[in-house]
Amino acid sequence: MKRLLVLTDGKAGHENQSRAFARALGCDFDVLPVSFRGRWAKTLSYALGRLGVFTPALLAPTGDVSGKGYAAVVGAGSGTFYAAKALARGLGVRCAAILYPRGYSVRSFDCVMAPSFDRPAKLPNVICIPANLVSADEDFYRSRTDEFLARHTPARDAVAVIVGGPNKCSTMTAEWMRAELDRVFAENRGREFWVTTSRRTPPEVEAVVESFPFDYKLVYSRDSFNPIPAFVTLAKRIYVTAESTGMLSEACTFGTAEVKSLDNLMPGPHKFRRFVEGLRADGYLGGNRKIDLSAQLAEASRLLGL
């Protein structure tokens, strides 16, 4: 089995997509933390990267990765793109960027897996996908579902609600949450109701969630158990706050549930709105069509020579 070198900038949302990519290609992988020597180095990397100049001199020491038989280097996020190309050149192997490497010479990368909401350039090495990459690990979903069922035994078909939190393009107030949950309960009479909040959920929003009669309720500030794999596997309908690109991607990729978004996005042509509107236009939101990336992953494998 071929082995990939996966770079991480310490952000779980980035690293998990690189891990998912490696698993989807049927490859083993090692994870290597990388960083720049300083802010000046990252700033300089954009200028050099646009010229196609990639040197490990801008990177903090990583240790020797030569001689380990890596077939390719993979990086997701702006903290890894330059490092991925620099290390790949040093190893004499190909390089994949997960997410769009804006600010660098996109043509320098052998393969770019970019979500459509990033508006990637139409180039032979760029593969456009409708959502973030999420790992199709059957054992993980099975074990997390078993853990959930040890906590809660469903009595009826279930509706699940996944609550994220505000960011620079979204709001989340107690009043908004109350109105959305009133609507969810009204639309789904006779079903069970499940909910989970996240580390980003404001305390006043968690208080509103607490006030509703959910059959299963996880408030992240008190319990960090992750019920989302079970929600995706077991629920008949899932509502996800619209800023939660990772959770929307997971719900639209796995399981059989109908997926709907709770629109807490601020007006404007930002990527979060493009993401939700793209999923809705393609039938992944408001229905139970699921994302199939088999053709895109086959092309990625070809571009990387795997």
Q: How many CB atoms lie within 10 A of CB 172?
A: 21
3-state helix, strand, coil in the chain (%, to 5): 40, 20, 40
Phi (first) and psi of residue 193, to 5 degrees: -125, 125
Structural domains in the chain? 3-130+293-303 (3.40.50), 138-281 (3.40.50)
Tokens 């199709």 sit on residue: 136
Tokens 């968690």 sit on residue: 206
The model carries a pTM of: 0.88
pLDDT by residue for the chain (306 residues), tens digit each? 899 999 999 998 899 999 999 999 999 999 999 999 999 999 999 999 988 899 999 999 888 888 899 999 999 999 999 999 999 999 999 999 999 999 999 999 999 999 999 999 999 999 999 999 987 778 888 999 999 999 999 999 999 999 999 999 999 999 999 999 999 999 999 999 999 999 999 999 999 999 999 999 999 999 989 999 999 999 999 999 999 999 999 999 999 999 999 999 998 888 899 999 999 999 999 878 999 999 999 999 999 999
Q: Record the tokens describing residue 100, joined without a space.
A: 């769009």
Alpha helices for 188-257 (secondary structure H): 203-211, 228-234, 245-253
